Amino acid sequence: MWIKWAFFEGLAKTAHKILQKLVGKGSGLAGAFLVTWVIGVMQMLVGFFGARARKEKILAPKLKIFGSIIFGISASVMTVLGVYTFTFSGADVGVSTFFIMLSIVPSVLADKFIFREKISPRKLAGVFLYLLTGFFFLIGLEKSDMIFSLPVWVWPSVGIAFLLTFNEIVTRKISDKMKPLANNFWIGLTTLIFSGIGFIIFGGLPDLKMMAGAFWFITAVMGLITTAMIVFKLMAYRAGGNLVIKQLVMQGTYLIGANFLGWLFFAETWTIGKSLGIPLFLIAYLVAHERKLKVDLNA
């Protein structure tokens, strides 16, 4: 059952990434905080009114609320970094996503030492193939030498990779007793406060390159997508997903989707390596997942 939630989360992340590039151009660091602030407002409102409509309580055990707040701070930084990436000329959706998917490596360690999961040789082989898939996606790019000489715009994605693992750990920890809408309320409230402070510190309205109406509309949509993304993440762990295999499904969907849409909407390079990477990802998933394929298809 959790596989579909991980897949939906990957699709949501893909859509969010494309919108990040749209609003990121020319927005600067202050603009990145402003985008994050709007997302926080939308999350908080949807979480609050959604919970009321379903007659669910916003309050939860203190440790669960604390987990949501910690998640909100980390997610705020991730969103700011994600938008800030595309304030740099030449930032590539597909390549940025590749570096974010490296979060699978610390996720293996988290499953092993935090959640006491058994990391079998087969699962490690699947992770290795998954990383190899990412390198295939870079084959043929003019930027392929960036692995040895990283441009500035890559580093935010490297930071996101580590924060993503942290957020996966937090979500798995709170997934048993935290309602999805209440979780979004507390994350949204934290995001609103954190990004608001950041916006004040870095000061002033950004010189936006798009019409103001389009900016507010796109950022509001990003807030709705983020809300859905967090619901999908929570539901995946509630349904029994672990960090490694869940990330394989989510990140693989994200990697393929972001590269395809980056090519479709922003004329980013589509290479033979990307074409080879898609079936390789499917192989990596089948190798790493130790259940029978029939179980997966019925999930």
- The model's pLDDT over 145-166, given as tens digits with 9 standing for 90+, comes to 555 567 888 899 999 999 999 9
Give whichever of 3-12, 85-94, 103-112, 254-263 has the largest mean pLDDT.
3-12
CA dihedral 281, 6, 33, 191 (to 10 degrees): -150
Q: How many domains does the chain have?
A: 1
Say which residue, 200 or 207, is predicted with more confidence: 200
The pLDDT assigned to 209 comes to: 55
- The model's pLDDT over 120-135, given as tens digits with 9 standing for 90+, comes to 888 888 888 888 887 7
Band of residue 186 on the pLDDT scale cut at 50, 70, 90: very high
The pLDDT assigned to 295 comes to: 39
Compute the distance between CA of residue 37 and CA of residue 223 in angstroms, rounded to an integer.
9
- The model's pLDDT over 1-29, given as tens digits with 9 standing for 90+, comes to 788 999 999 999 999 999 999 888 767 88
Domain extent, residue 261, equals 2-297
Band of residue 296 on the pLDDT scale cut at 50, 70, 90: very low
| Range with lowest mean pLDDT among 28-37, 146-155, 273-282 | 146-155
Buried b / exposed e along 171-202 (16+ C-beta atoms within 10 A): bbbbbeebbbbbbbbbbbbbbbbbbbebbeeb
